[in-house]
Amino acid sequence: MLRKPATATQVTHLQRLWLYVVCALVIIFLVAPTLIVIPMSFSDSRYLEFPPEAWSLRWYRAYLDSSEWRQATVVSFKVAGLTMVVATVTGTLAAYGLHVSRAKAGKYVSVLLILPMIIPVILLAVGIFLAFAPVGLNSTIPGLVLAHSVLAIPLVLITVTAGMRNFDINQEMVARSMGASRPWAFLTVTLPQIRNSVMSAALLAFIISLDEVVIALLIAGGDKATLTRRMFLALRDEIDPTIAAISTLLIGLSVVLLALSQFLQSKKN
C-alpha cells in the first residue's frame, strides 16, 4: 500500500480513504437487502427472522418436498428455456438485419424493438393480458414464452448489436462470392465470430424470464404459475421461510448466469 507520495502531486491511499468508505457504504446499501435472505433461509425458525437464532436446512427440504413448488419450478425453467430460444433467435436475426440494412426505417425498427424495455412493465402486462384473452394464450406456456420474449428481445438486440460492431461484413460477402448462400455464409462465417455475444444474450434472456414476476402475476394462473408468481402470492398469504430458501437458490443461479454472460461478453469474439 502506498503510504508516502512518490511525487509531490501523487495522492496517497490515506488521503482518499473517505472515497473508499463512501464506496463501501453504497455497495452495502445496494446489496445488503438482497443478501439478507441468505442467512434467513438457513434459519430453524418458523418465521422469517434476522438474525436467525438456530440454523437448519429445513426450508430447503420444505421446498423440495412440496409438489406445488416443484411444479412451479418446472414451469419457470420450461418458460425460461423456451424464452431463451425464441428471444435469442429473433433478437439475433433482428440485430443482424438492422446491422446490414441500409434502409432508413432501420432506426425506427430498433426503437420499436427496444420499447418494451422503456415502458412500465405493468402496462405491458395489462396490454399482453388483454391481447391474449381473446386468443386463449393466458395461463399457457406459449403465452408466457411470448410475453417474456417481448421483454428479453431488447437485451438480446443490444448485446448482439454490440458484438456485431466489430464484425467485418466483407467476410460474409467474400463467403458468398465463393459460393455460400447467404444463410450458410451467416452460419459458417458470421455466427462463429459473434458466438460469445449471442451466448451472453441467451443467458440474459434466460435470467429475465426466470426472474420476471409482474407479467407472470397477470397471465400465469392455475397450474402454469411460475416460481416467482407463487413466491409473491405465498409472501402475501403467509410469511414462510421457504421463500427465503428459494430466493437464495434463484440469487445463486442468477449471479452465476450473469457472471458467465459478462465473461462471454468480455472475451473477444
Partner 1 sequence: MKSSMTDAGATSVGPAAHAPDTEHSLPISVQSLVKSYGAFRALDNVSIDIRSGEFMTLLGPSGSGKTTLLMVLAGFVRPDSGSVTFGEREILLLPPHKRDIGMVFQNYALFPHMTVAENLAYPLKLRRAGKAEIRDRVERALDLVQLSGLGGRGIHELSGGQRQRVALARAVIFEPRILLMDEPLSALDKNLREQMQIEVRRLHEQLGITTVYVTHDQREALTMSDRIAVINDGRIQQVDEPRDLYEKPSTYFVANFIGETYSLPVEVSGSSVMLFGQPIKTPAPPEHGDRHQALILRPENLHVFEAEPDPGMNSMAGTVRQHVFQGDSIVTYLTVAGDREIAVRRQHRSDETLPAPGS
Please name every residue paired with 159 in a beta bridge, in sequence order, or none if there are none: none
Q: Mark the segment that binds partner 1 (CB under 8 A) among 34-42, 51-59, 134-142, 169-177.
A: 169-177
C-alpha cell of residue 120 = 412500465
Residues in the chain: 269
> Which x/- pattern over 115-154 shows residues binding partner 1 (rule: CB under 8 A)?
----------------------------------------
Q: Mark the segment that binds partner 1 (CB under 8 A) among 120-128, 131-139, 155-163, 182-190.
A: 182-190
> Which x/- pattern over 192-231 shows residues binding partner 1 (rule: CB under 8 A)?
xx--------------------------------------
174 near partner 1 (CB under 8 A): yes
178 near partner 1 (CB under 8 A): yes
Q: Mark the segment that binds partner 1 (CB under 8 A) among 27-35, 124-132, 170-178, 203-211.
A: 170-178
Q: How many residues bind partner 1 (CB under 8 A)?
A: 19
Quote the least distance from Cβ 172 to partner 1, whole Å.
Answer: 9
70 near partner 1 (CB under 8 A): no
Cα–Cα distances in Å, from 228 out to 27, 30, 81, 116, 224?
25, 21, 15, 20, 12
Quote the least distance from Cβ 266 to partner 1, whole Å.
Answer: 18
For residue 192, say if its preceding peptide bond is cis, omega within 30 degrees of 0. Answer: no
Among candidate residues 12, 37, 19, the one with its CA nearest the CA of residue 247: 37
181 near partner 1 (CB under 8 A): yes
- Greatest CA separation for the chain: 74
Letter string b/e over residues 158-174, b meaning 16 or more CB atoms within 10 A of that residue's CB: bbbbbbbeebeeeebee
Residue 194 or 207 having the CB closest to partner 1:
194
13 near partner 1 (CB under 8 A): no
The three-state secondary structure class of 43 is: strand
What's at 207, amino acid-wise?
Answer: I
Q: Mark the segment that binds partner 1 (CB under 8 A) among 91-99, 129-137, 172-180, 209-217.
A: 172-180
Q: DSSP label at 118?
A: H
C-alpha cell of residue 183 = 444463410
Q: How far is CA 259 from the centre of its chain?
A: 11
Among candidate residues 215, 182, 229, 191, the one with its CA nearest the CA of residue 73: 229
Residue 71 or 193 having the CB closest to partner 1:
193
Tell which one of 151, 175, 198, 219 touches partner 1 (CB under 8 A): 175
In angstroms, the CA 89 to CA 154 distance is 12
- Binding footprint of partner 1 on the chain (CB under 8 A): 168, 170-171, 173-182, 184-185, 188-189, 192-193
